[in-house]
A and B are shown apart, each in its own frame.
Chain A
Amino acid sequence: MVLQSLKNCVWLSCILRTPKACFWSAASGGLIIQSVSNDVYQNLAVEDWIHDHMDLEKQQILFLWRNSPAVVIGRHQNPWQECNLRLLRQKNIKLARRRSGGGTVYHDLGNINLTFFTTRKKYERLENLKLIVKALKALRPQLEVHVTDRFDILLDRQYKISGTAAKLGRTSAYHHCTLLCNADKFVLSSVLKSPYKGLKSNATPSVPALVKNLFEDDPSLTSEMLLDAIAKEYAVQHKINHHITLINPADETLLPGISDKTKELQTWEWVYGKTPKFSVSTCLNMAYKDSVLDVKVNMDVKHGRIEACNIDLPEQWLPPGLYSELVKSLTGSKFCPNETTTLLTALLRVCPQDNELHSRWSLLCENMIRLM
């Protein structure tokens, strides 16, 4: 395996002159590249960049990447429905929304990502997955792996080791998939379990599946070995050299415009704001003094912001003026614990200062924030 670092290349002039950039001389029918970064946003930005700027007519591309702990949701999914956002924040696990469809996955360095870039016409997911299975079997013939018609790869006929998603544009397309080598299954199962109740939405739901690491069947396997085996098989099938070119997703001269793409993927508007409209209909069980209050809450959230909000508090539990201030504050605000905390604590400054009211208010705030 030969790893080359890409430094001086004349292709920069190619980009400005031709409508679609052609990275390297199009002598070969394929190209294998690997990211040196483990940042999920940077790597997703590379996918966007290649999809938008590269001419895939002459050569197809295989992109290999791995991320430090992150949860990646599909384009049309609802993060509140898909994962435990509280846990993600606590553990400092990143949340990203990719541009392809499909369900939610957990990434860490024990999981490898493979993206197959082709023209729109040559888009063929099954072939790509068969390539991966072929590579796995060549590496370890005793591995019991096969491709299902849902575009999953199963180990031992029952455990999912790969999930697939795809993005199609006007002229180009990509199919990417994961491969579980040695990921932390404990963290995976805990972060992918949503604690949020009462959510109603048309967002694409994920289909939970039993997972297993390849490492569990064969402890001698490493992520590097798998990446190399798949690259080798790709090289054979595309009749190209088994070279893996390293790319740095932070290199603006190599990939002009990449930092803007990376930034966009990290904005709240993209990650949370792109959530399809949903409603929250739940009951807060607030333990107050010696009793437990059941408070019905209904909220409509659009573009990640609270469009409408109704909290069924017992009469006179809060001074009426304060309740309407509360609803007014929440309406139009992000469905986000940080913003809600700031708004509600600010409101507390301007209402009558008595301890009873303050403790009720704090109780209500804490419970509302737990919904987000």
Chain B
Amino acid sequence: VCIHRVRSCSSIRFIKSKYVCVFDKSALKFSHQQRLFRTSAVSCGQIVQFKLSDIGEGITEVTVKEWYIKEGDSVSQFDSICEVQSDKASVTITSRYDGIIRKLHYSIDDIAFVGKPLVDIEIDASKGVASEEDVVETPPMSHDEHTHQEIKGHKTLATPAVRRLAMENNIKLSEVVGTGKDNRILKEDILNYLAKQTGAILPPSPKAEIVPPQRKAEAVPAAPKDKARKVPVPVSRPIAFAGKDKTEPVTGFQKAMVKTMSAALKIPHFGYSDEIDLTQLVQLREELKPLAEIRGVKLSFMPFFMKAASLGLLQYPILNASLDENCQNITYKASHNIGVAMDTEQGLIVPNVKNVQVCSVFDIAVELNRLQSLGSAGQLGTSDLTGGTFTLSNIGTIGGTYAKPVILPPEVAIGALGKIQVLPRFNSKGEVFKAQIMNVSWSADHRIIDGATMARFSNLWKSYLENPASMLLDLK
């Protein structure tokens, strides 16, 4: 039936060029026999020239600055069509008709004239020119494609796509609060409405159970508790999930990660993890924090971790090295430029503190503060982000215990630090005591680093941190 109509329509086209036959494209998307049949009966539309209306203040011409639609798009009455500018005034032009855009009369930066056609819109011949009259609300089950539905004397504005969504989910538009312009109902409003419906079926949140019954209150506190306990009977209708996949190009910080991590894949990683008792370090930091604050610096654990790592690298310099492309030569780097993984709004960034081998713990703290404020402002420079030789990632500030960090080329090792937890441990006397435990997970390049080296480095690093006083002996 449908194909037959196409043929008959195209023959009409040659006879009467004034009318162009078109199928409502949206109807074709759904193989809904009923709907197709109906809309195919009103397939021939009329092209109306929508003229640029008076702007006011005697203005006769404007510059077209942005189009919100393109040829072929379907629009509803009151949808924004374009933005024009005239003498410091920016004007949003909205459509007066429902239909499909057939022609844009101007390009961006062209001068448009008041009273002359702006766009050509093809409207449904059956509906005629959309008028401002109210339309009686139709029951939601109806497949009628009315442009407007009435809620208590007011028009409900919604695009055809939104109305379809509501119809598919058996939602009455009158029950949905619109948050768009002129209280227009948007797709988000339908989805929010749906979410509220599904929420009624989920079990009550645990919070409701915490309300203590022995509180000497009246029946009132008990009532809400009861209400929360009552699980509403699940509605039998199927909840249609209307979410759509969204594809976007990989750009920015993610593009940088793709580059770096793809190169890291070439490195054969091995992992080594351990547990560090930071009880003494925690105490030490508590004592030193106020001193640093007086000097205007925030002292975290990282400066200690970094200084201890640098001391360790002095004994095991192969962990601060770089392997060339052909795996022919190892370059032992003199500087310990220790990178610190930073989580910013845009994504992962790894600036490094230069020459940790000649810095005091306080120096490192100062530099970290500087890098952190630049990082959060998105103002790190190239020198801050290049030249790293070894990296530490304090993922524990967000959470986690053991991790599997990825080495950042051209480096050969990396450490991920978990969160500090208070756990019971046995001391030398066999007594249980409260210990501040943190886990570390190292990854190293197995082409030039063996497990024994990594283990010994880790043990040395661990000993410095578990007994901070021992750092004093080797501090440079």
What residues make up the interface of A, taking CB atoms closer than 8 Å to B? 16-20, 52, 74-76, 89, 92, 99-103, 120-121, 123-125, 151, 164-170, 173, 202, 204, 256-257, 276-277, 305, 329, 332-334, 337-339, 341-350, 352-353, 358, 362, 365-366, 369
Q: Can you report 26 residue pairs joining A to B where beta carbons are below 8 Å apart?
A: A16-B177, A17-B152, A18-B154, A19-B155, A19-B182, A75-B85, A76-B66, A76-B85, A101-B88, A120-B56, A151-B87, A169-B92, A173-B56, A276-B65, A305-B251, A332-B251, A333-B252, A333-B255, A342-B349, A346-B256, A346-B257, A346-B260, A349-B260, A349-B409, A349-B410, A365-B382
Cβ–Cβ < 8 Å partners of B322 in chain A? 353
Cβ–Cβ < 8 Å partners of B347 in chain A? 342
Contact B252 A345 (CB under 8 A): no
Q: A75-B85, A100-B89 are in contact. List 4 more A-B contacts (CB 8 A).
A: A338-B346, A342-B256, A362-B382, A362-B386
Give CA–CA (A326, B93) in the complex, Å. 42
Give CA–CA (A167, B84) in the complex, Å. 10
Cβ–Cβ < 8 Å partners of B379 in chain A? 89, 337-338
Cβ–Cβ < 8 Å partners of A20 in chain B? 182-183
Q: Does B383 contact A (CB under 8 A)?
A: yes
Give CA–CA (A165, B87) in the complex, Å. 8
Contact B251 A333 (CB under 8 A): yes
CB contact between B380 and one of A18, A120, A341, A348 (< 8 Å): that residue: A341
Quote the shortest CB–CB distance from B53 to chain A (angstroms).
10
Cβ–Cβ < 8 Å partners of B386 in chain A? 345, 348, 358, 362
Name A352's closest neighbour in chain B (CB-CB). B325
Give CA–CA (A120, B331) in the complex, Å. 72
Name A166's closest neighbour in chain B (CB-CB). B89
Contact A204 B85 (CB under 8 A): yes
Contact A343 B252 (CB under 8 A): yes
CB contact between A344 and one of B252, B263, B382, B383 (< 8 Å): that residue: B382
Chain B 161-186 residues near chain A, CB threshold 8 A? 177, 179, 181-183
Q: Does B253 contact A (CB under 8 A)?
A: yes
Cβ–Cβ < 8 Å partners of B154 in chain A? 17-19
Cβ–Cβ < 8 Å partners of B86 in chain A? 101
Q: Does B193 contact A (CB under 8 A)?
A: no
Cβ–Cβ < 8 Å partners of A276 in chain B? 65-66, 108-109
Number of interface residues of B (CB under 8 A): 55
Known interface pairs A18-B154, A123-B57. Does A170 touch B78 (Cβ–Cβ under 8 Å)? Answer: yes
Chain B 374-419 residues near chain A, CB threshold 8 A? 377-383, 385-386, 408-410
Cβ–Cβ < 8 Å partners of A123 in chain B? 56-57
Contact B90 A202 (CB under 8 A): no
Contact A350 B260 (CB under 8 A): yes
Chain B 86-100 residues near chain A, CB threshold 8 A? 86-92, 94
Contact A103 B88 (CB under 8 A): yes
Cβ–Cβ < 8 Å partners of B78 in chain A? 170
Give CA–CA (A41, B307) in the complex, Å. 43
Name B183's closest neighbour in chain A (CB-CB). A19
Name B249's closest neighbour in chain A (CB-CB). A332
Contact A334 B259 (CB under 8 A): no
Q: Does B211 contact A (CB under 8 A)?
A: no
Give CA–CA (A347, B262) in the complex, Å. 11
Cβ–Cβ < 8 Å partners of A345 in chain B? 256, 382, 385-386
Chain B 43-95 residues near chain A, CB threshold 8 A? 55-57, 65-66, 78, 83, 85-92, 94
Q: Does B245 contact A (CB under 8 A)?
A: no
Q: Does B132 contact A (CB under 8 A)?
A: no
Quote the shortest CB–CB distance from A152 to chain B (angstroms).
10
Q: Does B324 contact A (CB under 8 A)?
A: yes
Quote the shortest CB–CB distance from B437 to chain A (angstroms).
33
Contact A353 B253 (CB under 8 A): no
Known interface pairs A75-B65, A123-B56, A346-B260. Does A170 touch B94 (Cβ–Cβ under 8 Å)? Answer: yes
Contact B85 A168 (CB under 8 A): no
Give CA–CA (A173, B56) in the complex, Å. 11
Cβ–Cβ < 8 Å partners of B331 in chain A? 353
Contact B88 A353 (CB under 8 A): no
Give CA–CA (A241, B99) in the complex, Å. 47
